[in-house]
Amino acid sequence: PALADLDGDGTLEILVGSDDNYFYSINSDGSERFSVYSSGDVRGSPTVEDVDGDGDLEIFYGSNIKKVFGLDHEGNELTGWPQSSTSSFKTAPVFADLNNSGQPSIIAATSSGTLYAWDSGGNIMDNFPITLGGTVEGSLSINDIDGDGDLEIGVGVSSELTLIDIKTEGGYGNYWSMYRLNPTRSGNRSDLEMGVEVNHPMLPSQFVVYQNYPNPFNPSTTIRYDLSEQSYVQISIHDLLGRNVRTLVKELQDAGQKSVVWDATDADGRSISSGIYLLSVNVDSESLVQKMMYLK
């Protein structure tokens, strides 16, 4: 099941599918708000998002009749939905802004291993569907895993974890992008509206600096690092003679996963020459130096 305040009255409704071919919205007092005949069993949990930007929530769920359904907040079918597929859906759809359009796409995988993505009107997204090459029994998860500015879709396929790298810049809206919304699996869409972080990871256990990506790079590169506790951080770029080219970070930062982008300019905003540069990261009493290469 999923929870959401569909009618804006301050109380949550329960959204759940059933083996009786119906999908239900149940009020907080147990009374039925609406039911929708779905022509087949609804085994996966529904998900909820404002996909068209109208201020109202929409509901999406898959069924065993090879369809993904889209409903408005009153239980009416959305224009362009349901969408048909090659096999049944056993897991919940998720949402992410795959193409930086400002609106989330609806992403779902069939049990036979075909990955679909649609816009709010039910139009298939560019480069989809994708054949995954195995069965899918678990839900999808979407995030910028490698810090390169685009999104990756993680999905368990048969006995493997498959990552699909979306090679367009993704948007970073706060969407229902994993199983039951967040790491605590609350399934409560209102957590987003209350400012609860959906994609907030567990705090790192140690100080780590990752290799900049991309490397070699042009025109920019991302430097990612983990802080296990609040620390004073200084990140600088030096040439091979040890001269300071640019200081990127010099401040007290809270614990968490961090990143900073260097655009290959010096402290005066001038483009640097091609070559090898040294990344220096100092965190309290710890320091680390890595090489990076800029190519024009």
pLDDT tens track for 38-86: 988 898 889 999 999 898 999 999 999 999 999 999 999 999 999 999 8
149, 261: one domain: no
Residue 200 has pLDDT above 60, yes or no: no
63, 144: one domain: yes
For residues 248-275, average pLDDT: 93
pLDDT of residue 32: 96
pLDDT of residue 249: 96
22, 110: one domain: yes
Which range marks the domain in which residue 228 is found?
208-294
Instruction: Annotate 29-84 with DSSP letters as a single string.
Output: TS-EEEEEE-SS---SPPEEE--SSSSS-EEEEE-TTSEEEEE-TTSPBPTT-SEE
Q: Answer for the pair 73, 57: CB distance below 8 angstroms, yes or no.
A: yes
145, 62: one domain: yes
The answer to which of 109-123, 161-175, 203-217, 259-273 has the lowest mean pLDDT is 161-175
215, 110: one domain: no
Q: How far apart are CA 126 and CA 146, in angstroms?
A: 22
In a domain, 187, yes or no: no
Q: Which residues of 117-128 are buried (b: 16+ CB within 10 A; e: fewer)?
A: bbbbeeeebeeb
pLDDT of residue 69: 97
For residues 117-145, average pLDDT: 91
Domain count, the chain: 2
**Residue 214: both structure tokens together:** 């991309």
User: 165-191 pLDDT, tens per residue?
Assistant: 887 777 656 788 888 888 778 888 887
Residue 202 or 2, more confident? 2
Residue 204 or 8, more confident? 8
132, 235: one domain: no
Looking at 121, 154, 169, the residue that finishes a domain is: 169
60, 163: one domain: yes
**Residue 125: both structure tokens together:** 């997204």
243, 154: one domain: no
pLDDT of residue 270: 94
Residue 210 has pLDDT above 50, yes or no: yes
pLDDT of residue 202: 54
125, 213: one domain: no
In a domain, 188, yes or no: no
| pTM of the complete model | 0.65
In a domain, 189, yes or no: no
Residue 194 has pLDDT above 60, yes or no: no
Looking at 151, 169, 187, the residue that finishes a domain is: 169
User: 95-104 pLDDT, tens per residue?
Assistant: 999 888 888 9
6, 101: one domain: yes
In a domain, 199, yes or no: no
Residue 238 has pLDDT above 90, yes or no: yes
Q: Answer for the pair 267, 245: CB distance below 8 angstroms, yes or no.
A: yes
Contacts for 185 with CB less than 8 Å, ≥ 6 apart: 179
18, 144: one domain: yes
pLDDT of residue 173: 66
Looking at 169, 191, 223, the residue that finishes a domain is: 169
CATH (domain of 94): 2.130.10.10
The answer to which of 12-21, 104-113, 147-156, 256-265 has the lowest mean pLDDT is 147-156
CATH (domain of 270): 2.60.40.4070
15, 123: one domain: yes
Report the chain's mean pLDDT, rounded to a whole number.
89
In a domain, 9, yes or no: yes
In a domain, 178, yes or no: no
For residues 237-256, average pLDDT: 94
Residue 166 gets which letter from DSSP? E
